[in-house]
Structure 1
Amino acid sequence: MILQTPKQKIASSIQRVQQDDDVMELLAEIAGIDGSHWQLCVHPLLRDAPEWEALEKLANNALGANPFYDAIFLKAMRGRLIRKQEYHLVLWEIIGDEKVAKIAFPVQDRKTKSGNRLLRAYENEYSPSTTPLIDKNDADETISKFVQALDSAVEEHGLVLRIGNLCTDMPFGDNFLKAIEGLSANKSVTLNQKRAALFPEINNAGGLTGLSSKRQREHRRLSTKLSELGQLEFERVDEFMDVLLRFEEFLLLEVKGWKGRKGTSMQMLKKASVFARQAVTDFASAGKCEIFSLRLDGNAIAIVINFHQDGRNYPWKIAFDEKYANRSPGSVLMYHMSQELLTRPDFVMADSLAKPGKSWLSAIWHDHTSFNDIIVGPSNKVVNSVKNSIPLKTRLKDFAKKILGR
């Protein structure tokens, strides 16, 4: 009989798990206090396992919501947009028989040029935020344990973790940046561009104080021009059936625009439309989805799908009728929606979800959120290799879009 060291046991466990997509994989384990211990694990996203219930609880008790890492959203993506190479990276706290998910986020499992395993926080055009979910209870201790476990996994197995476009204005991002300063592993922190956001106004509650008088006059002018064509109304719905009806209206409005002409609207992409319908339906059922629309004589000329939780808002998708493009119905709708959000007592912020940099929404929202690309790995060579591959991949994607006309 050959005895194995703890390191060998973990390594053999990982090797065995990689041959079986249905089994949880242990990356690192560290001791806590009072008999507790912590485990950093990888779970296949495609598997319908008991841990989903724990992840749903975490989403509802998270410090700083991220609807795109909510179990509701990820379940809607399974079998449609998520493949076998996608996993859940979860930090568990275990006390006796109780197992609680403390940090969780989906990752893509890849290889670096040097052959190291690379776990990359999941993001795509439908899931544009990479902020991990973290339990609001004892968040500082949880971050500390996560960094310790990550450090161990990097040292033991040569693991590389990349969280791209991590919002450092969110509790997790800010605390994680501070915590990794003490890592023995190598790391790279790159400041990306900022993107438009809306925060509560201090000096003029209920008003967009950052908006110049000229810009406010322009919005009044656009609203007046639209009103000349018929009865103009601003509508918000959050009741379950109303949300479902307005979402179908959104899909039809989107397919009439440039996305429809290029074949990229959700209505024209079968898997995307099924996923989106389930996500909106389940979020509406949980009270986490509302739809704003600008209506002319009862017909929608602009629609915004807004996911929200604990005062944080994420206007996920917007569509407008191009027939009225010269009157900017999308801009008028966002202006009215912003005014509505600012009147809410529990309003914390709204994220534009635009690509980092300047967007059309920057003309209305003068606040911004900051983002960092964070890479943690076993050596400077490996970390720099991953870091240098990012701009190349971005250029290749942009080139492909230009060639394909998308």
Structure 2
Amino acid sequence: MTKGGLETEALGVERMSEHVRDWADLVQRAVEANGFLEPGFALPAARHFPAKSRPVFVVVWKSSAAQGARRLIALFPIVAPGFSLGAATARGWLHKQAALATPLLDRDCAEEAAAALLDWFAGDRSGAGAVLIPKTPMSGAVFAAFTRAARATGRAWRVLDSHERAALLSGGDPEEVWTRTSSRKALSEMRRRRRRLEEAGELRRVIYSTPAEIPRATEDFLALEASGWKAERGALLGHPSLATFVRSATRLLAREGKIRIHSLELAGKPIAMGVVIESVGRSYFWKIAYDESLRAQAPGVQLVYAITETQSERDDIGLTDSCAIPGHYMIERCWPDRLVVCDLMVQAKADGVTQFAEAHAKEVWRRRLREVAKSAYHRLVSHRKQR
């Protein structure tokens, strides 16, 4: 679709891979970062996940008469709505390996780019009555751009399922940060446990970040994760396609200097590892694994404190997102700052008030049914364990 010097189109994975340079350039110009939409992360995910879950990349190009060229000003991977009784919802692509689905919008024309995306859905033949942008920061510039564009064109919007998750603002004193939601006693106890670890051998912190280091560190992480409880509940090594995705993504991100693997090593052996993705001033604490045979000495907590020290000292990173579920028992006691994340639903067609209301009601009902099913499942599991 072409309108007012803007061209919007939907591209498959292979077509999108032809525009990696434009994509990477947009990442640097984006009004709000999203490490899970770095090409080095998103393309391997799209390629290695099952074909039925692969996204369509909706992109907006802006022509430049002066330069005789065009530049990419928006990128929004979506899962196109399938068959639906009544108004459907086009959903931003959010898979289990991503903690955000925030689209990329050019900082110089964010609202214009958001409006162009909405116009594409309005003209799309999918029958979408609404566009859902899942897991996006509520205080972020992308949320603001879409809601302003909606207001300007008479579209309605709603916020669904907002929640807080732990985050770490840079520049603070690690001890003060750590004790803001904990206590001096807890910090002293953690250090006592660290001394117990040191009695067993040399304990050191290592950060792997170069293209030469990352492949080996990735294998160590995968092995460490698979050695624990996740071996029975979804360790990456237990799923060949996921393991291939992780190996590919970490390798590609390392080429761009956008990944660090933090390792706490005892006598030369990793006992806790964390994978941190970076994108234009933000970090994302993506994965953690630790040696469960050392649980009494809390190697995972020891690693988080080491990461807290490192991230607090960096002046090129403003915030580290924990990527954790709400109420996570460990990270929320360690990191006191909070990031409010929500699902934003926007009316697709400017004149589609009825369709949007129907799509919104269906989505609310679908989520209620999902929660009822989850509760029933957990009650059943709990009942079986008590028998």
Partner SS state of residue 163, structure 1: strand
1:402, 1:230 → 2: CA distance? 44
2:340, 2:247 → 1: CA distance? 31
- Residues 1:298 and 2:268 are matched in the alignment: yes
Verify the 8 A CA contact 2:87 2:358 in the aligned structure 1: no
Please name the residue that 1:17 is paired with.
none
Aligned residue identity for 2:250: V
In the alignment, structure 2 segments of 5+ residues that lack a partner are: 383-387
Please name the residue that 1:387 is paired with.
364
Aligned pair in 2 of structure 1 residues 155, 107: CA closer, same or farther (>3 Å)? closer
Indicate the larger mover: 296-305 or 309-318: 309-318
Please name the residue that 2:385 is paired with.
none
Please name the residue that 1:91 is paired with.
60
Verify the 8 A CA contact 1:186 1:383 in the aligned structure 2: no
Q: How does 1:73-222 map to 2 (within 5 A)?
A: 73-81=41-49, 83=51, 86-96=55-65, 97-111=68-82, 113-136=84-107, 138=108, 141-147=109-115, 149-151=117-119, 153-154=121-122, 158-159=127-128, 160-190=130-160, 192-201=162-171, 204=173, 208=177, 210-211=180-181, 212-222=183-193
Higher relative contact order (CA 8 A, sep 6+): 2
Shift of 1:78: 3.2
Shift of 1:249: 0.6
Shift of 1:207: 5.1
Aligned pair in 2 of structure 1 residues 398, 334: CA closer, same or farther (>3 Å)? farther
RMSD over aligned CA atoms reads 2.7
Verify the 8 A CA contact 2:174 2:309 in the aligned structure 1: no
> Residue 314 of structure 1 is aligned with which of 269, 275, 284?
284
1:65, 1:185 → 2: CA distance? 25
Verify the 8 A CA contact 2:58 2:117 in the aligned structure 1: no
Please name the residue that 2:6 is paired with.
38
Verify the 8 A CA contact 2:111 2:148 in the aligned structure 1: no
Partner SS state of residue 170, structure 2: coil
Aligned pair in 2 of structure 1 residues 58, 359: CA closer, same or farther (>3 Å)? farther
Shift of 1:214: 2.7
1:291, 1:79 → 2: CA distance? 23
Aligned residue identity for 1:388: W
Indicate the larger mover: 239-248 or 107-116: 107-116
Identity %: 23
- Residues 1:61 and 2:29 are matched in the alignment: yes
Indicate the larger mover: 55-64 or 149-158: 149-158
Verify the 8 A CA contact 2:36 2:99 in the aligned structure 1: yes
Indicate the larger mover: 356-365 or 55-64: 55-64
2:332, 2:9 → 1: CA distance? 39
1:403, 1:81 → 2: CA distance? 31
Aligned residues: 368
Please name the residue that 2:203 is paired with.
232
Verify the 8 A CA contact 2:13 2:47 in the aligned structure 1: no
- Residues 1:355 and 2:360 are matched in the alignment: no
Verify the 8 A CA contact 1:54 1:101 in the aligned structure 2: yes
Per-residue CA deviations over 1:290-315 (Å, capped at 9, x if unaligned) read 11111111111000011113331111
Aligned pair in 2 of structure 1 residues 394, 62: CA closer, same or farther (>3 Å)? farther
Partner SS state of residue 197, structure 1: strand
1:402, 1:327 → 2: CA distance? 32
In the alignment, structure 1 segments of 5+ residues that lack a partner are: 1-25, 32-36
Indicate the larger mover: 274-283 or 311-320: 311-320
Please name the residue that 1:19 is paired with.
none
1:149, 1:124 → 2: CA distance? 21
- Residues 1:375 and 2:316 are matched in the alignment: no
Aligned pair in 2 of structure 1 residues 50, 394: CA closer, same or farther (>3 Å)? farther
Per-residue CA deviations over 1:123-171 (Å, capped at 9, x if unaligned) read 12211211111223x1xx3323422551574377553210122112333
User: What TM-score results when the alignment is normalised by the length of structure 2?
Assistant: 0.86
Partner SS state of residue 42, structure 1: strand
Partner SS state of residue 192, structure 1: strand
User: What TM-score results when the alignment is normalised by the length of structure 1?
Assistant: 0.82
Verify the 8 A CA contact 1:112 1:386 in the aligned structure 2: no
Indicate the larger mover: 249-258 or 218-227: 218-227
Partner SS state of residue 78, structure 1: helix
